[in-house]
Amino acid sequence: MDKKALALLFYWQNKGIDTIVIRIMTRFAIGIVIGAGIAGFLAGGMYFYFAKSDQGDFSFPFSIKNPLAASMKESTPEERAAEALARSRNIKGLYMTADVAMDPGVGASRLRENLIKLADETEINGLVIDVKEVCGPDYDEERLKKLIEELKTKNIWTIGRIVLSKDASQIDVHPEWYLTRKAGANSGANECARKAHIRAARPDGKKASVNFWRDRRGGYWMDPAHPEVHAYILEFSKRMIDMGFDELQFDYIRFPSDGDIENAIYPAYDGKTPKYAVMKEYFEFLNKNLKAHKPEIVLSADLFGYAAIRAGDVGIGQRVDDVGDNFDYISFMTYPSHYYNGLHLPEDPTRGLPALRYDAVQARTNPDIVVLRTLQVARDFLDGKISTSSFRYITTLSATTSTTTISAIIEQKSRSRARLRPWLEDFYHEADATAGRPSGAKKVRMQIDAAETVDNSGWLLWSAANVYTEDALKKE
């Protein structure tokens, strides 16, 4: 046996295996320390190299291939828009007032938390939050951002509600935007007297001495044809997009509908151009500029329920023909209690449904039928199954009913990509119950089921008090 073998044998016999392991581990640790030092030296050298670069270019002077990074490319605007639309499908939302959303008080906080709780525990997955109401912009930036962030962490779809034509906040600083009065005095109190804090002030503190026209409720109206009004709404809408809303919903997208309109003077509208043409131009302006600002922003519009079932613009510029191409969703206000003249519809030959002749009481007694038939007509029109919004069904070359001439168009073509997401009523329950009509959870559920039968693109519940009928909602 040579000397090396004898030495190793002697080592094993006298030191034992434990000692050897300890020595090996010690040398391994020393190796790690030395390796770390070398790595640190190299890293420092690289930093010195890049920091001293004249161009401040921190790209490596050699190629490093990362298959994972190469496969992850930034999505296109079109892809982001498509993804947002996919996420917006089947939103079931509740309306939240600006006061409930912004007020830190106990009462408002309790209501706000309850709405969020409903979204946590039921089928509700969206909230429509007032940020600009009939009196003007009404929000606290810090609180609104915090609320939106909270809702997003809970995967709740956020919709900012923006009132367009009705706005009292600029009467002192921009009186030239508003309708004025030819003669006579306004009836009724100022609708926005309690919201004086959101009224923009002039530097000199003076009030405008103008005889503004006001509607029956005492509300002020901006001229929807005024280009500066368009710019004002656009800039506000962009701010709301930047606040983080998933969707913007526009309400009062029309000319005034009540009050002594014959005494109103428009500063920009010429009185000759069809009102629907004015609104169409307005819609196109908003769509083009807001989608350019953020391609994935979803846009929706609120329309009277009657706009779905009447031809033309009903005298206020709201025409389904013009809305559908400029908004992703149309939210008809299909409140059964608001069909003051009833619901009159011709026969639906495609579905085999009879003509409908409801008066106002019958409309409230049959909330599901009102929602169903209204949305069916709207959907058929948008899908090109009706030649105009006056119910000319495309079924035969020539036919006549007692109220409508049916005129066929051979080629059916979809008019709009817009989906229907109606407003449903969650109010007037006591009056309905007293009259023996469907009320409470039954009434709300009847409307929901009807809405889901037609389009199944979601629905929204309206309660001005922000108190909702939880028993009508499915648990999740």
Same domain, 283 and 342: no
Within-domain flag for 61: no
DSSP state of 58: -
The pLDDT, as a whole number, for residue 74 is 85
Retrieve residue 382's tokens: 């948008």
The encoded tokens of residue 356 equal 């409908």
What count of other Cβ atoms lies within 10 Å of the Cβ of residue 341?
Answer: 10
Residues 6+ apart with CB under 8 A from 276: 312, 313, 317, 318, 319, 321, 322
Say if residue 257 is in the same domain as residue 372. no
E strands, 118-205, are: 126-133, 136-137, 157-163, 180-181
Q: Which residues contact 181 (CB under 8 A, 6 or more apart)?
A: 211, 212, 213, 263, 264, 265
> Is the residue at 80 inside a domain?
no
CA–CA separation, 451 and 445 (whole Å)? 10
Q: Do 157 and 106 belong to one domain?
A: yes
Query: What is the rounded distance in angstroms from the CA atom of residue 362 to the CA atom of residue 346?
Result: 16
- Gap between the Cα atoms of 61 and 256, Å rounded: 67
What residues contact 357, with CB distance under 8 A and at least 6 apart? 342, 344
Same domain, 368 and 262: no
Please give the single-letter amino acid code of residue 337. S
Establish if 269 belongs to a structural domain. yes
Q: How many Å apart are CA 88 and CA 458, to the nearest integer?
A: 9
- Cβ–Cβ contacts within 10 Å for residue 451, how many? 27
Contact 98, 163 (CB under 8 A): no
Judge if 138 and 261 occupy the same domain.
yes
CB neighbours of residue 377 within 10 Å: 24
Cα dist from 414 to 324, 380, 382, 401, whole Å: 11, 9, 6, 25
Residue 377 belongs to a domain: yes
The total domain count for the chain is 3
- 408 and 451: one domain? yes
43 and 111 co-located in one domain: no
Looking at residue 392, its pLDDT comes to 53
pTM (whole model) above 0.85: no
- Which residue range(s) make up the domain with 17? 3-56
373 shares its domain with 471: yes
pLDDT in tens, the chain (476 residues): 444 443 443 333 444 434 433 343 444 444 444 444 444 444 444 433 333 334 333 333 333 334 444 445 788 999 999 999 999 999 999 999 999 999 999 999 999 999 999 999 999 999 999 999 999 999 999 999 999 999 999 999 999 999 999 999 999 999 999 999 998 888 778 999 999 999 999 999 999 999 999 999 999 999 999 999 999 999 999 999 999 999 999 999 999 999 999 999 999 999 999 999 999 999 999 999 999 999 999 999 999 998 888 767 778 999 888 888 899 999 999 999 999 999 999 999 989 999 999 999 999 999 999 999 999 999 998 888 886 545 555 443 333 333 333 333 334 566 678 999 999 999 999 999 999 999 999 999 999 999 999 988 999 999 999 999 999 999 98
Assess contact for 147 and 207: CB atoms under 8 A: no
Distance CA 280, CA 267 (A): 19
Q: 396 is written with which tokens?
A: 């035969």
Phi, psi values for residue 215, rounded to 5° = -80, -175
117 and 180 inside one domain = yes
Strand, helix or coil for residue 144: helix
Residues 206 and 265 in one domain: yes
Q: What does the pLDDT read at residue 442?
A: 98
Between CA 54 and CA 280 the distance in angstroms is: 55
Q: What one-character DSSP code corresponds to residue 315?
A: T
User: By C-alpha distance, which of 271, 254, 258 is closest to 316?
Assistant: 254
- The label of the residue with tokens 């990074």 reads 69
Q: 238 and 183 share a domain?
A: yes
Same domain, 275 and 347: no
In this structure, is residue 22 part of a structural domain? yes
Nearest by Cα to 403 from 363, 446, 357, 472: 357
Q: What phi-psi label fits residue 415: left (phi over 0), alpha (psi between -120 and 50 degrees) or beta? A: alpha
62 lies in some domain: no
pLDDT at 413: 62
Q: Is 429 within the bounds of a domain?
A: yes
**Domain end call among 326, 342, 365:** 326
Overall size of the chain counted in residues: 476
